Amino acid sequence: MALTGDMIEQISQQLIEAERSCQPIDAISGKFADLSYDDAYAIQLKTIEVKVKSGAVIVGKKIGLTSKAMQEQANIKEPDYGFLLHNRVFREGQPIPMKSLIMPRIEAEIAFLLKDDLKGPGVTVASVLGATEGVMPAFEIIDRRFKGEITVKDSIADNAANGAVILGGKLTPLSPDIDLRLIGMVLEKNGEIIDTAAGAAVLGNPAEAVAWLANKLNEYGITLRRGEFIISGSLTRAREIESGSFFRATFDRLGSVSVYIE
């Protein structure tokens, strides 16, 4: 790898401080022209390791940049992933302070709750559906600890830009009459419809995104664990957030999720 262990640890500490202080730092891709994907994921893993040692609990994983709209927005062709920690999961109805965020945007997603482990290689859509306890509506607030122009490698190092997750209150078991590709979604901001989409916007099927994640994580010796929830990626382009915004995403047969930004 291009980065030494000391450099990886230093960048990780800078990211942790940037999150704590809400003061972004310069993107690392501009400093290290030969930054590799392995470097970026090593920084991410170091940050998660430090946070877990400080008491954080891994409760799930996230997949980012899975829809065509998000890939075009980020100018990339492959998804990325990150870890979800318990202290960044907010209950529905709990206001999220704008002052705790840096450059936030919001995404409406379908979350999978796993009843079995998923370990690549060879995980398929069928594997994912068989290992899923149920699905639920979710919001992810993505946030950046890097300023200026960034690349997907910066995003990966920054835990795939995870800021916060809000889960809807309804868990829907998968049944033969639920086709996740055809699940429609309506996104509202302050009562006005701002976007619509269907599950097929996410790699053709949200379960396909989870399969991709399980297979990708195997490259790093990581397994999707029973009891974890996986957010499968935004159905639409990420939307800007301002103080005083109220968002609601309503999914056909899956219910809704809402959040207020104070």
Reported as a pLDDT band with limits 50, 70 and 90, residue 112 is very high
Summarised one tens digit per residue, pLDDT across range 164-193 is 999 999 999 999 999 999 999 999 999 999
Angle at 81 between CA 249 and CA 233, to 5 degrees: 20
pLDDT score at 82? 94
Summarised one tens digit per residue, pLDDT across range 119-129 is 999 999 999 99
Contact 74, 68 (CB under 8 A): no
| Nearest CA among 53, 80, 56 for reference residue 67 | 80
Summarised one tens digit per residue, pLDDT across range 21-43 is 999 999 999 889 889 989 999 99
User: What 3-state class would DSSP assign to 7?
Assistant: helix
pLDDT score at 78? 61
Give CA–CA dist 21/14, Å, rounded: 10
Q: Compute how many other C-beta atoms are within 10 angstroms of the C-beta atom of residue 54.
A: 9
Contact 139, 107 (CB under 8 A): yes
> Which structure tokens are listed for 27?
């993107």
pTM > 0.85: yes or no: yes
Q: Where are the beta strands (DSSP E) in the chain?
A: 25-26, 58-64, 80-85, 89-90, 105-114, 132-142, 146-147, 162-167, 184-189, 192-198, 229-231, 239-240, 246-251, 255-260
pLDDT score at 73? 60
Residue 78, burial from CB neighbour count under 10 angstroms (0-12, 13-18, 19+): exposed
β-pair partners for 25 = 146
Summarised one tens digit per residue, pLDDT across range 85-103 is 999 999 998 999 999 999 9
Average pLDDT of the chain, as a whole number: 93
Every domain of the chain and the residues it spans: 5-260
Residues found in the chain: 262
Give CA–CA dist 135/183, Å, rounded: 11
Contact 81, 63 (CB under 8 A): yes
Summarised one tens digit per residue, pLDDT across range 71-85 is 566 555 567 889 999
* DSSP string computed for 126-156: HHHHHTEEEEEEEEEEE--SEESS--HHHHH
Mean pLDDT of 241-246: 96
Give the list of residues 6+ apart from residue 7 with CB closer than 8 angstroms, or none: none
Q: Does position 52 have pLDDT exceeding 90, yes or no?
A: yes
pLDDT score at 76? 56
> Which structure tokens are listed for 106?
């919001």
Q: What residue has token string 């609601």?
A: 248
Q: Please provide the CATH number assigned to the domain covering 5-260.
A: 3.90.850.10
pLDDT score at 241? 95
